[in-house]
Amino acid sequence: MTELDPRQHLLSSRRHLRDASGTAVSRPVSFAEEAAEQRENLSGGLDDARATITGTEALASAALLKEFAARLRHDLAHGTIAPDAEALAQVATDLAERMTKAGGLTD
């Protein structure tokens, strides 16, 4: 089992799998893995949405995503987090922009 390193892994999620012998195992999720998975999830666009949120909820979500991305980039600049966190910061930034537009604010 891989040890969780908060400089390289998400704190909120683990992958639950089975090893070659069928034994249940869990492992930390890297920033790059999460970024790739979320990019894939988002590739369908907002028209693919199955849930509806209000404009206010979209804008609040966008603000939280922007803060998350800024904190990742702060840690990147100070060398306290793995460089692949930039990929996750970019996913958060892109989604924040989509949420801002969905909330009714456009550039």
Q: Which two tokens stand for residue 25?
A: 């195992």
The pLDDT of residue 34 is above 90: yes
pTM of the model: 0.81
Q: Which two tokens stand for residue 29?
A: 């999720």
Instruction: Compute CA distances 93 → 25, 38, 44, 63, whole Å.
Output: 32, 12, 17, 10
SS3 (DSSP) at 72 = helix
Top pLDDT among 23 and 48 is at 23
pLDDT score of 35: 95
CA separation for the pair 86, 47 (Å, rounded) = 27
- Work out the angle between the directed axes of helices 85-102 and 55-77 (0-180°, nearest 10): 160
pLDDT score of 3: 87
